[in-house]
Chain A
Amino acid sequence: MTDTATVASRPMHSTGAARRAGARRRIGFSWLVPALYILFLMVPIYWLLNMSFKTTNEILGTFSLWPNEFTFANYHKIVTDPVWYNGYLNSIAYATLNTILSVSVALPAAYAFSRYRFLGDKHLFFWLLTNRMAPPAIFALPFFQLYSSVGLFDTHIAVALAHCLFNIPLAVWILEGFMSGVPKEIDETAYIDGYSFRRFFFKIFIPLIAGGIGVAAFFCFMFSWVELLLAKTLTSVAARPIASVMTRTISISGYELGVLAAAGALTIVPGAIVIYFVRNYIAKGFALGRV
């Protein structure tokens, strides 16, 4: 039962049985709304899973709500074909690299923004944020030329660096929020106790904002994982992300739908795992309004 429902179930004028019954019905109803919403979210995912266990012939030939000839062939193809599984490894590689890079450079910057006032700090903060808002489509072509000219084209580093464009501002923003929540007296006490800045930062401060680092890392990984336009533009064969392997499959081999569905289903897995681990922090990260 929710608090709001409790409030609603105690009208002031009367506590008559009819009203209470009405309130009880409302509680039943309010339980239905999230349930229906989750159902709406799950149906397309169910359809994807359903297709991933069918043969391509069955998908194109018959229409059924569940697989008649249940097969793991599509998944088998993905885990045995290097083009497919390398796609996954590439995506995980650059997303992880980007997360580490973004969070580690964002930590000192966020500390500076939360603790100090310096020349141009507000303008700098706004400028950083505008990069979170810049449509990647604008940068696709210049990025291709830039990374080609410095010889990084088709490497994991290129994608990881390119995703810094929107992930560093995000990480700075989230971490600044968490750091501002830590009282300044803690810094001052540590200095009085004779801690050097470095020792204070790593021994005391970082453990205090561990939750914030978790939230920042989650969002960096998430946005790097789901982005396709830049990742596709900056890679050809060696570092091709899974998302790009999928679009290639559509265009080259016509409709290999079963494999495509299996690949899609597998891209949901890392996200689901990450969400499960940070579920308690998500609401908090959002509560700070830093996304």
Chain B
Amino acid sequence: MTLDKTVNNRAWFMVLPVLVLVAFNAVIPLMTVVNYSVQESFAGNVFFFEGSKWFEQVLHSERFHAALLRQLAFTATILAIEIPLGVGIALTMPRKGPWVSVCLVLMALPLLIPWNVVGAIWNIFALPSFGLLGRAINGLGISYNFTRDAGDAWFTLVLMDVWHWTSLVVLLAYAGLMAIPNAYYQAAKIDGASRWAVFRYIQLPKMRRVLTIAVLLRLMDSFMIYTEPFVLTGGGPGNSTTLLSIDLVKIALGQFDLGPAAAMSLIYFLMVLAMSWVFYTVMTREEART
């Protein structure tokens, strides 16, 4: 946001439609959740005030801790793989010519596949019975079955997410690289900078802003992930791939435990909110600097 803006409170009228629509979708459901989180329900229509009981229950529940831990492990793993891989691919992509369009279109393809279809594609791709990946790994003499073995399920889940989302990092990093003027490279050439020096002192600093966005977007979105693991493994085998969202939906819609589910929703939402705040602060600070 630029600094030379006129003060005009009538601008609120222009924001009003957005405000009404988003408030309808965000405030009413959120208040419903808050309402449930402090009450006990009987037969779905009789409610008693319970105070912070559900919050204490959720915060002390081993099940929540386990799901949160799995979630953190998943997010850390995919970030550690997708960010360096995405940057590496963006660095080696062509800069001009007909191949640019081909690369962009083919790489963006996984981003536009409905999330349950992504799960379904990986399901039939990785099944040991008739999936190409499952057959290939078992053919190499390694026992692999993601529906039975927790480790294999994790491997498949991470591989699926890398397949699905690395392109986002590639596109962001690529856009950052394209914004570097050619003069920088010529200067580096005159100075005789090594390939590593060019990356370290020209490309990386110039990509900083887009990379911040890439990291934070992947962080948020991996925290929300639901459909793909749900279709791929259904949270199993056992509970081994039950991430936060899956656990939440299991409690809320499966067992209809509204109180604990609502309390868990709020704790979950507050965590995401805290991360969003960091995201927003970092981003606006970067923007103010440039």
Q: Is A189 an interface residue (CB 8 A)?
A: no
Contacts of B220 in A (CB 8 A): 133
Q: Is the CB of A261 within 8 A of B124?
A: yes
Size of interface on A: residues with Cβ below 8 Å to B: 105
Q: Tell me the smallest distance from the CB of A91 to a CB of chain B, in Å.
A: 8
Q: Is A213 an interface residue (CB 8 A)?
A: no
Q: Is B223 an interface residue (CB 8 A)?
A: yes
Q: Is B58 an interface residue (CB 8 A)?
A: no
Q: Is the CB of B109 within 8 A of A41?
A: yes
Contacts of B130 in A (CB 8 A): 59-60, 63
Q: Is A220 an interface residue (CB 8 A)?
A: no
Q: Tell me the smallest distance from the CB of B43 to a CB of chain A, in Å.
A: 16
Which stretch (B47-55, B113-121, B146-154) binds chain A? B113-121
Q: Is A11 an interface residue (CB 8 A)?
A: yes
Q: Is the CB of B115 within 8 A of A168?
A: no
Q: Is B15 an interface residue (CB 8 A)?
A: yes
Q: Is the CB of A275 within 8 A of B2?
A: no
- Residue on A with the closest CB to B227? A228
CA distance A139 to B36 in the complex (A): 13
Q: Is A192 an interface residue (CB 8 A)?
A: no
Size of interface on B: residues with Cβ below 8 Å to A: 112
Q: Is A68 an interface residue (CB 8 A)?
A: no
A-facing residues in B113-147 (Cβ within 8 Å)? 113-117, 120-122, 124-125, 130-133, 135
Q: Is the CB of B29 within 8 A of A289?
A: no
Q: Tell me the smallest distance from the CB of B107 to a CB of chain A, in Å.
A: 7
Contacts of B33 in A (CB 8 A): 138-139, 142
Interface of chain B, helix or strand or loop or mixed?
A: helix
Q: Tell me the smallest distance from the CB of A129 to a CB of chain B, in Å.
A: 6
Q: Is the CB of A227 within 8 A of B104?
A: no
Contact of B107 among A37, A112, A129, A180 (CB under 8 A): A37
A-facing residues in B175-225 (Cβ within 8 Å)? 175-176, 178-179, 182, 185, 188-189, 191-195, 198, 203, 209-210, 213, 217, 220, 223-224
Contacts of A6 in B (CB 8 A): 185, 189
Interface of chain A, helix or strand or loop or mixed?
A: helix
Given contact pairs A2-B92, A33-B92, A287-B178, A116 touches B6 in the complex (Cβ within 8 A): yes
Q: Is A157 an interface residue (CB 8 A)?
A: no
Contacts of A283 in B (CB 8 A): 104, 171, 174-175, 178
A-facing residues in B215-270 (Cβ within 8 Å)? 217, 220, 223-224, 226-227, 231, 244-246, 248-249, 252-253, 258, 261, 265, 268-269
Contacts of B120 in A (CB 8 A): 246, 250, 260, 264
Q: Is the CB of B22 within 8 A of A169?
A: yes
Contacts of A121 in B (CB 8 A): 11
CA distance A289 to B25 in the complex (A): 26
Q: Is A225 an interface residue (CB 8 A)?
A: yes
Q: Is the CB of B114 within 8 A of A287?
A: no
29 A-B residue pairs with Cβ-Cβ distance under 8 Å, sorted by A, are A4-B91, A4-B185, A7-B189, A8-B198, A33-B92, A34-B92, A34-B107, A105-B18, A109-B18, A112-B15, A115-B11, A116-B5, A119-B12, A133-B279, A135-B245, A135-B272, A136-B226, A137-B226, A141-B252, A165-B25, A168-B22, A169-B22, A172-B18, A228-B116, A246-B117, A247-B231, A264-B121, A275-B104, A289-B283
- A residues sitting closer than 8 Å to B (CB atoms) are 2-4, 6-8, 10-13, 30-31, 33-34, 37-38, 40-45, 47-48, 51, 59-60, 63, 65, 101, 105-106, 108-109, 111-119, 121, 124, 126, 128-131, 133-143, 145-146, 161-162, 164-165, 168-169, 172, 176, 180, 184, 222, 225-229, 242-243, 246-247, 250, 257, 260-261, 264, 267-268, 270-272, 274-276, 279-280, 282-284, 286-287, 289, 291
Which 3 residue pairs across A and B have the least CB separation, nearest first?
Answer: A12-B192, A271-B112, A142-B29
